[in-house]
Amino acid sequence: MRGWTKSLDAAGVREPGLREDYDRQRQLVRRFRRTAYLAARLLLPRPLLPHVVTATAVMHHGDNLLDTGPLSQRETAWASWERQVREALRTGTSDNSLLRAFVHTVSVHPRLREIVETYLTTATAELRFAGFATEADYQAYVDAYSYPAFMLVAGVLAPEGDDLRYRTACRTFIEGSQRLDFVNDLAEDVQEGRVGIPVDAMERFGVTMDGVVSGVGGSALEELIADQVATARTALLAAKELPALTPADGRRLAGALVEIELLTADAVLARGTGVLHGSANPPLGRTLRVLAHRY
């Protein structure tokens, strides 16, 4: 806790109420993204840590609103949240502790304002997500939702000035990471009657949606999963240039995120069709070695 207090000091978060707002986000992120929080805590300079944590909390909160409950409920919840975010950014204040912290983070990292605008404009792509007919549909989803959401966090670490190569590397990373998530989350997604593997990819292996849902696909289903993991891994390997494009303060964290996703890809590949019964996690020991090496 003392390290977090020093991080708030280093980030210039002095007002007691605002410090409490940031600490609420720390507790949330530590609970729902434990590995990511540990990585950020170990690998980020203190002045950046509160801002990355709060941006992560905003991304997670939006994802929950867009993805939880019946469509009508999600539409109402998202519309309300979008209004709150825009009002908070316009006025510089909010009744919501998350938004109070985030508004302060945006004031410190003003480039986030444009990123947030893009995110709010396109994030509704997640509301009606019901699967993809083609690979092109998947790529459009990444452009509309996954990439803008990831940039809420990556924007805190972005270089000054022309950051096109950095943003391109972020897009490559999240394309691989999102594809890997869709494979790893099959058990959860099939319960909702949708999967993130494009239908045209399934057809190449002779796998049907019914086959995925029932888990009856034999070697064809195994090959489909291996193909999707391999495609995700190709993008993640290409994203290995991301740390070199990240300013020094965020370079260690960017490198760790890529390496941990590659470990996750190995774990998913090893589990194969077992992901239909639960997601795979990289071995804890190897994850800790990645963090220790970067540290």
pLDDT at residue 295 tops 90: no
In this prediction, residue 18 carries a pLDDT of 97
Mean pLDDT in the chain? 94
The candidate with the shortest Cα–Cα distance to 40, out of 268, 256, 274, is 256
More confident residue, 34 or 242: 242
Average pLDDT of the segment spanning 225-244 = 98
Whole-angstrom CA distances from 82 to 25, 115, 123, 128, 251 are 19, 14, 10, 17, 31
pLDDT at residue 206 tops 80: yes
pLDDT at residue 91 tops 80: yes
Q: Where are the domains of the chain?
A: 1-128, 130-295
- Written as six digits, the tokens of 205 are 């292996």
180 neighbors 232 (Cβ within 8 angstroms) = yes
Whole-angstrom CA distances from 270 to 163, 186, 194, 259, 291 are 36, 15, 23, 17, 22
Residues 6+ apart with CB under 8 A from 120: 82, 85, 86
Do the domains 130-295 and 1-128 match in fold? yes
Whole-angstrom CA distances from 162 to 168, 169, 200, 202 are 12, 13, 37, 39
288 neighbors 295 (Cβ within 8 angstroms) = no
| pLDDT tens string 73-89 | 999 999 999 999 999 99
SS3 at position 11: coil
| pLDDT tens string 115-151 | 999 999 999 999 988 899 999 999 999 999 999 999 9
Domain 130-295 sits in CATH at 1.10.600.10
pLDDT at residue 32 tops 90: no
Average pLDDT of the segment spanning 237-248 = 97
* DSSP string covering 110-130: TTHHHHHHHHHHHGGGGTT--
Residues 6+ apart with CB under 8 A from 214: none
pLDDT at residue 217 tops 70: no
Whole-angstrom CA distances from 95 to 56, 85, 92, 254 are 19, 11, 11, 33
In this prediction, residue 25 carries a pLDDT of 96
Q: Residues of the chain with pLDDT > 70: what percent?
A: 99
In this prediction, residue 35 carries a pLDDT of 86
- Name residue 172's amino acid: T
Average pLDDT of the segment spanning 33-43 = 90
What is the rounded CA–CA span in Å between residue 195 and residue 184? 11
What is the rounded CA–CA span in Å between residue 65 and residue 176? 23
Domain 1-128 in CATH 1.10.600.10? The answer is: yes
pLDDT at residue 216 tops 80: no
pLDDT at residue 34 tops 90: no
DSSP class of residue 134?
A: S
- Written as six digits, the tokens of 287 are 């994850």
What is the rounded CA–CA span in Å between residue 246 and residue 159? 6
pLDDT at residue 233 tops 70: yes
3-state helix, strand, coil in the chain (%, to 5): 80, 0, 20
In this prediction, residue 195 carries a pLDDT of 93
What is the rounded CA–CA span in Å between residue 155 and residue 133? 31
